[in-house]
Amino acid sequence: MKEKIMRAVFLAAACVCILCVALICLFLLANGIPAFGKIGALKFLTGAVWRPGNDIYGVAPMILGSLYVTAGAVALGAPIGILTGIFLARFCPRRARPGFRSAVNLLAGIPSVVYGFFGLVVLVPAVRSVFGVSGKSMLTASVLLGLMILPTIISVTDTSVRAVPESCYEGALALGATHERAVFSALLPAAKSGITSGVALGVGRAIGEATAVVMVAGNQPAMPSGPLHGLRTLTANIVLEMGYAADLHRQALAATALTLFVFTLAVNVLLALGRGKRPV
């Protein structure tokens, strides 16, 4: 009887999760599709001008801005996060490991607005003094998002490497490999799927972040012109204008959210295909 009850509880929890995703999809479709019909899907997605006052809605600058910032964040954060996770799993002294993991967990618990304030007070002046620009730019946003995705990638990499059977490591040592070679040649390939999942979660965190990006990216609804110039992402566009939007403007922001949702789904599918698994 207990087993049947718990099976029903687990099934109900899974159904609730699926229902939540379905409701979000329906909400986005119901509010975003009318904007595509009124503006035109091609014109909306490829338009280079966003001017709500004149009923001109083109999200191409925001799509490119999201792509550039996310790519920069992953390029900066993924290598550091993966190497740190490997260090925690196989190279960190046993006594120091709890302290390092607590620091990573603390980094994950810092609110986005605190990260944004740190970027505004520290990163923006640093970029301004080094490059002689305003400081609120694609580079600043990429560095900040790279810092924000570190805890996710570190934790998943650590767990994935430790989940590999010890026999893989011992077999590599038995064949004459050093400790470093056994870790990077035997354990790391075996943990590739989990590490890729961690990077995918980091991509989702980077592309979906709004508060911190609004504070450091410059928020210019124009085509990105370089890493030292300001830009606007899809999430920042929604956050900045949803408070006063109405009618077609509000529908255009809902279509922006739908575009972001589809884009995030596509990234996850591509990463799942890249690691040789069928996307769920």
Q: Token digits for 163?
A: 């989940």
Q: Token digits for 22?
A: 């379905």
Using only C-alpha atoms, the chain has a radius of gyration, in whole angstroms, of: 22
What are residue 113's phi and psi, to 5 degrees? Answer: -65, -30
| CATH fit for domain 2-274, picks 1.10.10.10, 1.10.3470.10, 1.20.1440.130, 1.10.3720.10 | 1.10.3720.10
Q: Token digits for 80?
A: 């550091």
Nearest to 195 by CA among 143, 142, 271: 271
At 226 the three-state DSSP class reads: coil
- How large is the average pLDDT for residues 12-35? 91
Dist. CA 64–CA 168, nearest whole Å: 43
Taking the C-alpha atoms of 116, 118, 124 and 125 in order, what is their torsion angle to the nearest 10 degrees? 160
Tens-digit pLDDT profile for residues 159-182: 999 999 989 988 999 988 889 999
Strand partners, 50: 57
At 239 the three-state DSSP class reads: helix
- How large is the average pLDDT for residues 188-192? 90
Q: Which residue shows structure tokens 């302290």?
A: 99
List the domain boundaries for the chain: 2-274
| pTM for the model | 0.86
Residue 279 has pLDDT above 70, yes or no: no
DSSP letter (8 states) at residue 93: -
pLDDT band at 156 (very low <50, low <70, confident <90, very high): very high
Whether the Cβ atoms of residue 80 and residue 149 lie closer than 8 Å to each other: no
Dist. CA 269–CA 278, nearest whole Å: 8
- Which of 34-38, 65-69, 122-126 has the least mean pLDDT? 34-38
Tens-digit pLDDT profile for residues 194-237: 898 888 888 888 888 888 999 999 888 888 888 999 899 999 99
Average pLDDT in the chain: 89
Q: What pLDDT was estimated at residue 277?
A: 52
pLDDT band at 85 (very low <50, low <70, confident <90, very high): very high
**In the chain, alpha helices (H):** 2-39, 41-46, 60-86, 97-109, 112-118, 124-131, 138-148, 150-163, 166-174, 179-182, 188-190, 192-208, 211-216, 234-241, 248-274
- % pLDDT > 90, the chain: 46
Determine the straight-line distance between the first and last CA of the chain, rounded to whole angstroms.
31
Residue 127 has pLDDT above 50, yes or no: yes
Tens-digit pLDDT profile for residues 131-142: 888 889 999 999
